[in-house]
Amino acid sequence: MKTRILSAIVLVAIMVPLLLIGEVPFACFMALLSLFSLYELLHMREQKKPFPFLLKILAYILVAFFTLMNYTQNVFTSILDFRVVAFVIFAFLLPMIFVKKQEEYEIKDAFFLVGSVLFIGLSFNLLILTRNYDLSYFIYLLLITTMTDTFALVTGKYIGTHPLSKISPHKTVEGLVGGVLMGTFVASVFYNQVINQSMPLVPLILLTALLCIIGQMGDLVFSAIKRSYKQKDFSNLIPGHGGILDRFDSLIFVSLAFVLLIEIL
């Protein structure tokens, strides 16, 4: 527990100043996290067999590119350059026809690289755009994920009896309810007092609760990935917490949902 708390303090001490500063320092930090996240996915996948070295290097370059794409922009209407997407598809699919043995690099390997690059790169790019859009909104999303995760853990530990999903046997229905209630309460109060006092409370509470639930679903999705590779954590980069994806799984899904709801919020 002490290790977990100490790691959390160090992480907060690093992230908060960069979050407040924003701009290039925050964008570079997100790019660094995206590279570590890609490493966690590839390392987990390579337990079965390694990827070609050059393709891994290319994957890291492309993730950094997607993460930093339009990093100074403060709106969510950026146009994804399909030339870049086409390059990603060609770069990872065409090598299949040049390998000596088909089993060394197959279609499922190519699709894994394509999906990982686009998912990780665009997700962390979205976090940069959210910070640029408004620091208050980024804090709002952080409150949703941290409060929901924390109180889901506490509630589930003390009164949880009904399993939520076979994917993560330690998660309970009671934990989900407790986490969503507290996450909704804290984040809604913050939104009402800091972002927009004129928004009607009922829609605000419902939308915030929806984001809390989506965050927990994101946690389960990443748990399913770990379960498929028989891993407890994505890595041990953050002592007591696991890896970058173990900490950012809920935030990634909440930010993706936030983009869909931004016109309402």
d(CA 34, CA 130): 16
> pLDDT tens across 118-136, in order?
999 999 999 999 999 999 9
Contact 128, 67 (CB under 8 A): yes
> pLDDT tens across 231-249, in order?
888 888 887 778 899 989 9
Q: Is the pLDDT score of 261 beyond 80?
A: yes
Tokens 């925050």 sit on residue: 26
Q: Residue 12 is inside which H or E element, if any?
A: helix 2-21
Q: Which regions of the chain does DSSP assign to beta strands (E)?
A: none
Phi and psi, residue 163, nearest 5°: -60, 140
Contact 124, 256 (CB under 8 A): no
Within 8 A by CB and 6+ apart from 89, the residues are 114
Q: Is 172 helix (H, G, I), strand (E, B) or coil?
A: strand
Cβ burial of 3 (10 Å; 0-12, 13-18, 19+) is: exposed
For residue 22, the model assigns a pLDDT of 86
> pLDDT tens across 42-74, in order?
999 998 889 999 999 999 999 999 999 988 888
For residue 233, the model assigns a pLDDT of 84
Q: Is the pLDDT score of 100 beyond 80?
A: no
The pTM of the full predicted model, rounded to 2 decimals, is 0.91
For residue 180, the model assigns a pLDDT of 94
Give CB contacts under 8 A, 24+ apart, made by 31-36. 31/64, 31/67, 31/68, 31/124, 33/124, 33/244, 33/248, 34/63, 34/64, 34/66, 34/67, 34/120, 34/121, 34/123, 34/124, 35/60, 35/63, 35/64, 36/235, 36/237, 36/243, 36/244
For residue 229, the model assigns a pLDDT of 87
State the sign of the Cα–Cα–Cα–Cα dihedral 244, 250, 251, 253.
positive
* Overall average pLDDT of the 200-222 stretch: 94
* Overall average pLDDT of the 175-185 stretch: 93
d(CA 265, CA 261): 6
| Mean of per-residue pLDDT scores for the chain | 90
Q: Which of 15-24, 162-171, 186-195 has the lowest mean pLDDT?
A: 162-171
d(CA 143, CA 186): 7
Number of C-beta neighbours around residue 189 at 10 A: 13
The tokens for 182 are 């507290």
Q: Is the pLDDT score of 79 beyond 70?
A: no
The tokens for 68 are 């930093």
For residue 148, the model assigns a pLDDT of 95
Q: Is the pLDDT score of 92 beyond 80?
A: yes
